[in-house]
Protein backbone atom coordinates (compact mmCIF):
# COMPACT_ATOMS: atom_id res chain seq x y z
CA UNK A 1 0.00 0.00 0.00
CA UNK A 2 1.59 3.22 -1.18
CA UNK A 3 1.53 6.15 1.20
CA UNK A 4 -0.52 8.21 -1.25
CA UNK A 5 -3.24 5.59 -1.08
CA UNK A 6 -3.10 5.61 2.69
CA UNK A 7 -3.43 9.37 2.80
CA UNK A 8 -6.43 9.25 0.49
CA UNK A 9 -8.17 6.65 2.57
CA UNK A 10 -7.52 8.50 5.81
CA UNK A 11 -8.89 11.72 4.37
CA UNK A 12 -11.94 10.07 2.87
CA UNK A 13 -12.65 8.24 6.13
CA UNK A 14 -12.39 11.51 8.02
CA UNK A 15 -14.29 13.82 5.70
CA UNK A 16 -16.27 11.79 3.16
CA UNK A 17 -17.05 12.97 -0.37
CA UNK A 18 -16.51 16.68 -1.01
CA UNK A 19 -18.72 17.11 -4.10
CA UNK A 20 -16.29 19.32 -6.00
CA UNK A 21 -15.98 21.66 -7.86
CA UNK A 22 -18.43 24.09 -6.23
CA UNK A 23 -19.85 25.50 -9.45
CA UNK A 24 -22.77 24.77 -11.77
CA UNK A 25 -21.29 24.74 -15.27
CA UNK A 26 -17.91 24.11 -16.91
CA UNK A 27 -17.65 27.81 -17.69
CA UNK A 28 -18.40 28.85 -14.13
CA UNK A 29 -15.78 26.40 -12.88
CA UNK A 30 -13.16 27.83 -15.24
CA UNK A 31 -13.97 31.38 -14.11
CA UNK A 32 -13.76 30.27 -10.49
CA UNK A 33 -10.38 28.68 -11.11
CA UNK A 34 -8.94 32.06 -12.07
CA UNK A 35 -10.75 34.04 -9.41
CA UNK A 36 -9.65 31.78 -6.57
CA UNK A 37 -5.92 32.30 -7.19
CA UNK A 38 -4.42 32.91 -3.75
CA UNK A 39 -7.86 33.91 -2.53
CA UNK A 40 -10.48 32.68 -0.10
CA UNK A 41 -13.29 30.84 -1.89
CA UNK A 42 -15.97 32.82 -0.05
CA UNK A 43 -14.77 35.96 -1.77
CA UNK A 44 -14.87 34.22 -5.12
CA UNK A 45 -18.51 33.26 -4.55
CA UNK A 46 -19.40 36.90 -4.04
CA UNK A 47 -17.70 37.84 -7.29
CA UNK A 48 -19.47 35.06 -9.19
CA UNK A 49 -22.80 36.12 -7.68
CA UNK A 50 -22.16 39.62 -8.97
CA UNK A 51 -21.56 38.31 -12.47
CA UNK A 52 -24.67 36.14 -12.32
CA UNK A 53 -26.80 39.00 -11.08
CA UNK A 54 -25.68 41.08 -14.05
CA UNK A 55 -26.28 38.18 -16.42
CA UNK A 56 -22.56 38.38 -17.14
CA UNK A 57 -21.47 34.83 -16.42
CA UNK A 58 -21.03 33.96 -20.08
CA UNK A 59 -18.16 34.05 -22.52
CA UNK A 60 -20.07 36.28 -24.93
CA UNK A 61 -20.93 38.92 -22.35
CA UNK A 62 -17.53 39.05 -20.69
CA UNK A 63 -15.88 39.08 -24.11
CA UNK A 64 -17.62 42.36 -24.89
CA UNK A 65 -17.12 43.86 -21.42
CA UNK A 66 -14.27 46.28 -20.75
CA UNK A 67 -11.56 45.22 -18.34
CA UNK A 68 -12.51 48.09 -16.08
CA UNK A 69 -16.17 47.09 -16.00
CA UNK A 70 -15.27 43.47 -15.36
CA UNK A 71 -12.90 44.48 -12.57
CA UNK A 72 -15.68 46.33 -10.79
CA UNK A 73 -17.90 43.23 -10.95
CA UNK A 74 -15.31 40.87 -9.50
CA UNK A 75 -14.00 43.26 -6.85
CA UNK A 76 -14.73 40.98 -3.85
CA UNK A 77 -12.38 38.31 -5.24
CA UNK A 78 -9.37 40.56 -4.60
CA UNK A 79 -6.58 41.42 -7.08
CA UNK A 80 -9.50 42.53 -9.20
CA UNK A 81 -7.45 44.43 -11.77
CA UNK A 82 -5.09 41.57 -12.57
CA UNK A 83 -7.86 39.01 -12.42
CA UNK A 84 -10.06 41.00 -14.79
CA UNK A 85 -7.21 41.02 -17.26
CA UNK A 86 -6.60 37.31 -16.75
CA UNK A 87 -10.27 36.46 -17.18
CA UNK A 88 -10.35 38.41 -20.40
CA UNK A 89 -7.26 36.61 -21.64
CA UNK A 90 -8.85 33.25 -20.95
CA UNK A 91 -12.10 34.22 -22.61
CA UNK A 92 -10.28 35.57 -25.67
CA UNK A 93 -8.63 32.16 -25.84
CA UNK A 94 -11.98 30.41 -25.44
CA UNK A 95 -13.75 32.55 -28.03
CA UNK A 96 -10.95 32.62 -30.58
CA UNK A 97 -10.08 28.94 -30.32
CA UNK A 98 -13.39 27.28 -29.52
CA UNK A 99 -16.08 29.80 -30.42
CA UNK A 100 -16.71 30.30 -26.72
CA UNK A 101 -17.61 26.68 -26.10
CA UNK A 102 -16.15 24.67 -23.24
CA UNK A 103 -17.54 21.56 -24.96
CA UNK A 104 -15.39 22.22 -28.00
CA UNK A 105 -12.39 22.88 -25.78
CA UNK A 106 -13.02 19.52 -24.16
CA UNK A 107 -12.57 17.76 -27.49
CA UNK A 108 -8.99 18.91 -27.77
CA UNK A 109 -6.13 16.52 -27.08
CA UNK A 110 -5.25 16.72 -23.38
CA UNK A 111 -1.51 17.39 -23.53
CA UNK A 112 -1.86 19.82 -26.39
CA UNK A 113 -4.61 21.70 -24.59
CA UNK A 114 -2.64 21.91 -21.36
CA UNK A 115 0.31 23.47 -23.18
CA UNK A 116 -1.98 25.99 -24.84
CA UNK A 117 -3.66 26.90 -21.57
CA UNK A 118 -0.26 27.54 -20.02
CA UNK A 119 0.43 30.09 -22.75
CA UNK A 120 -2.58 32.15 -21.70
CA UNK A 121 -1.64 35.11 -19.53
CA UNK A 122 -2.76 34.44 -15.96
CA UNK A 123 -3.06 30.68 -16.30
CA UNK A 124 -0.33 28.76 -14.53
CA UNK A 125 -0.12 25.03 -13.81
CA UNK A 126 -2.63 24.90 -10.98
CA UNK A 127 -5.24 26.96 -12.76
CA UNK A 128 -4.79 25.00 -15.98
CA UNK A 129 -5.07 21.67 -14.20
CA UNK A 130 -8.09 22.81 -12.19
CA UNK A 131 -9.84 23.66 -15.44
CA UNK A 132 -8.79 20.38 -17.05
CA UNK A 133 -9.90 18.22 -14.13
CA UNK A 134 -12.94 19.96 -12.74
CA UNK A 135 -14.29 21.75 -15.78
CA UNK A 136 -13.33 19.38 -18.59
CA UNK A 137 -13.11 16.12 -16.63
CA UNK A 138 -9.63 15.22 -17.77
CA UNK A 139 -7.57 12.90 -15.51
CA UNK A 140 -5.00 15.44 -14.30
CA UNK A 141 -3.98 15.77 -10.65
CA UNK A 142 -4.14 19.30 -9.27
CA UNK A 143 -1.34 20.41 -6.95
CA UNK A 144 -2.02 23.35 -4.68
CA UNK A 145 -0.48 25.03 -1.65
CA UNK A 146 -2.29 22.69 0.75
CA UNK A 147 -1.10 19.59 -1.08
CA UNK A 148 2.51 20.78 -1.06
CA UNK A 149 2.32 21.78 2.58
CA UNK A 150 0.82 18.50 3.72
CA UNK A 151 3.32 16.34 1.84
CA UNK A 152 6.35 18.43 2.76
CA UNK A 153 5.46 18.72 6.43
CA UNK A 154 5.18 14.96 6.58
CA UNK A 155 8.56 14.58 4.86
CA UNK A 156 7.02 12.78 1.90
CA UNK A 157 8.18 15.30 -0.70
CA UNK A 158 10.68 18.12 -0.23
CA UNK A 159 8.97 21.50 -0.23
CA UNK A 160 11.48 22.80 -2.77
CA UNK A 161 10.23 20.34 -5.41
CA UNK A 162 8.50 21.78 -8.44
CA UNK A 163 4.83 21.64 -9.34
CA UNK A 164 5.55 19.05 -12.03
CA UNK A 165 7.51 16.88 -9.63
CA UNK A 166 4.67 16.84 -7.11
CA UNK A 167 2.20 16.07 -9.85
CA UNK A 168 4.32 13.30 -11.34
CA UNK A 169 4.33 11.54 -7.98
CA UNK A 170 0.53 11.30 -8.02
CA UNK A 171 0.41 10.38 -11.70
CA UNK A 172 2.93 7.60 -11.29
CA UNK A 173 1.25 6.02 -8.29
CA UNK A 174 -2.48 6.47 -8.74
CA UNK A 175 -4.84 5.15 -11.34
CA UNK A 176 -5.60 7.89 -13.89
CA UNK A 177 -9.14 8.37 -12.74
CA UNK A 178 -11.10 11.61 -12.90
CA UNK A 179 -13.32 10.76 -9.96
CA UNK A 180 -10.36 9.80 -7.77
CA UNK A 181 -8.34 12.89 -8.69
CA UNK A 182 -11.36 15.10 -8.14
CA UNK A 183 -12.02 13.75 -4.67
CA UNK A 184 -8.40 13.53 -3.61
CA UNK A 185 -7.50 17.13 -4.34
CA UNK A 186 -10.73 18.36 -2.76
CA UNK A 187 -9.83 16.39 0.36
CA UNK A 188 -6.39 18.02 0.51
CA UNK A 189 -8.07 21.40 0.48
CA UNK A 190 -10.47 20.28 3.17
CA UNK A 191 -7.79 18.97 5.52
CA UNK A 192 -5.64 21.98 4.78
CA UNK A 193 -8.32 24.49 5.65
CA UNK A 194 -9.14 22.61 8.82
CA UNK A 195 -5.75 21.53 10.15
CA UNK A 196 -2.86 22.67 7.98
CA UNK A 197 -2.79 26.45 7.81
CA UNK A 198 0.43 28.31 7.02
CA UNK A 199 1.25 29.02 10.64
CA UNK A 200 -0.04 27.29 13.74
CA UNK A 201 -1.14 23.95 12.32
CA UNK A 202 -3.61 21.98 14.45
CA UNK A 203 -2.11 18.53 14.24
CA UNK A 204 -3.74 16.99 17.32
CA UNK A 205 -6.94 16.03 15.54
CA UNK A 206 -5.56 15.84 12.00
CA UNK A 207 -6.37 12.58 10.18
CA UNK A 208 -2.87 12.69 8.65
CA UNK A 209 -1.14 12.70 12.01
CA UNK A 210 1.83 10.30 11.94
CA UNK A 211 0.94 9.14 8.46
CA UNK A 212 3.31 6.54 7.02
CA UNK A 213 4.87 5.74 10.39
CA UNK A 214 6.39 9.19 10.51
CA UNK A 215 6.40 10.92 13.84
CA UNK A 216 6.12 14.31 12.25
CA UNK A 217 3.17 16.24 13.56
CA UNK A 218 4.02 19.82 12.72
Partner DNA sequence: TGCCAGGCCGGGT
Partner DNA sequence: ACCCGGCATGGC
For the bound state, the minimum distance from the C-beta of residue 44 to DNA, rounded and expressed in Å, comes to 8
**What's the longest Cα–Cα distance across the chain?**
56
Taking the least distance from each CB to DNA, the nearer of 1 and 88 is 88
Residues in 80-109 at the binding interface with DNA, rule: CB under 7 A: 80-83
Q: Which stretch binds DNA (CB under 7 A): 30-38, 98-106, 170-178, 203-211?
A: 30-38
Candidates 27, 65, 76, 166; binder of DNA (CB under 7 A) is 76
CA distances from 6 to 16, 41, 45, 174, 216 (A): 15, 28, 32, 11, 16
For the bound state, the minimum distance from the C-beta of residue 210 to DNA, rounded and expressed in Å, comes to 22
Candidates 198, 204, 205, 215; binder of DNA (CB under 7 A) is 198
| Residue 189 binds DNA, judged by CB under 7 A | yes
| Residue 56 binds DNA, judged by CB under 7 A | no
Q: Which stretch binds DNA (CB under 7 A): 61-69, 91-99, 108-116, 187-195?
A: 187-195
| Residue 26 binds DNA, judged by CB under 7 A | no
| Residue 218 binds DNA, judged by CB under 7 A | no
Candidates 43, 101, 152, 217; binder of DNA (CB under 7 A) is 43
Candidates 3, 56, 61, 145; binder of DNA (CB under 7 A) is 145
What's the per-residue H, E or C state across 151-190?
Answer: HHHCCCCCCCCCHHHHHHHHHHHCCCCHHHHHHHHHHHHH
Candidates 42, 55, 109, 112; binder of DNA (CB under 7 A) is 42
- Say how many Å lie between the first and final Cα of the chain, rounded: 24
C-alpha 89/C-alpha 4 separation (Å) is: 36
| Residue 73 binds DNA, judged by CB under 7 A | no
**Binding footprint of DNA on the chain (CB under 7 A):** 20-22, 32-33, 36-43, 46, 75-76, 78-83, 120-128, 130, 134, 144-146, 162-163, 189, 192-193, 197-200
Amino acid sequence: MNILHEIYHRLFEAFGPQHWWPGDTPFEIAVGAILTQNTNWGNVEKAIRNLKRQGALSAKVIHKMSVKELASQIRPAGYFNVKAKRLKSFIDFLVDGYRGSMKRMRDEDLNHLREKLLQVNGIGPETADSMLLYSLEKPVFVIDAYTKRALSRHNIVGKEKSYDEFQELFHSVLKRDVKLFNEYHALFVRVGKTYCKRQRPLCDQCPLRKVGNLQVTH
